[in-house]
Structure 1
């Protein structure tokens, strides 16, 4: 279990679209909506664990077109998010006295949905679950299904812990950016460009 936790920590500390989305949501929309996004990411990871358990990763291996379809759909979604962040006037000015100004279009349900879709449409996340979890299952230690479920719960819980940290960090970053309009614009372009970069990488990556 210790080795499993270390492996998860290494994975969750690596920069990726999930982390960027959480930091951007926290910085521009506040802690509550960022935590809603984190919850959406947790739901998506639970779905990935379930899908890995029923063998969808095997389908990706035997029918590469299914992997490519999900990959391109995920890339298109990340590209759409990144472009929205770069649109002039998309982000409103933060007001320190009242907290981050919420965009009318972003509610807790839409923030939750963004988290679910960002992770669920990333086939690499499913392959990660299907490759990592079996490495820590011992067929001699009891029911394999129960072990898979237990490790999946730990994977989701640890992910929520890291994602909550990133959400809170993003909210703190938003308060700091409030005093500098130039820093807000840099943050807007940085996060938007990173998501577009992740979209392009996902679009042109080859199945392992």
Structure 2
């Protein structure tokens, strides 16, 4: 894998372990020469994962909508910073640049991004590995609900298995790399049609 999108909160959360783990993930990406692709902000866990990559000689590319950049929340020391017009363009652009996706703890936006990319994977639009870094058991209740969806017949086990989960960055990246290498028909994501349809 040459690049990974990281979805995460623009807040730090109440516990120090969240910011520490976000930084460690960024540092681990740098160590493995994997470019960080993320939302371009300098606040909360977004800022920490970027710091972890950049302060360890890694590469970080941010994608940020113009209206958020005007609020002066963009990280200004990134390797690359792309400006787009809408949130839909932002999500499509981030994924189009990536070989995989990782979700850290976050709020509505993080969950929106995570479930959208899982849907794209289910529909064979996106072919890369999708991981959740389950720091401090943050996603335990969500994972339990996903299993409930399988139990009640609203989700197939094979679809749930698209999600790779670990509480350690190194372990998660190893599992994602194994998935990436086993995906023999990995096709590039064409986001142009998706964006056009969304904005109609």
**What is the TM-score normalised by the length of structure 2?**
0.23
**Structure with the higher helix share, 1 or 2:** 1
Q: Which has the higher contact order (CA 8 A, sep 6+)?
A: 1
Q: Which has the larger radius of gyration?
A: 1
**Structure with the higher strand share, 1 or 2:** 2
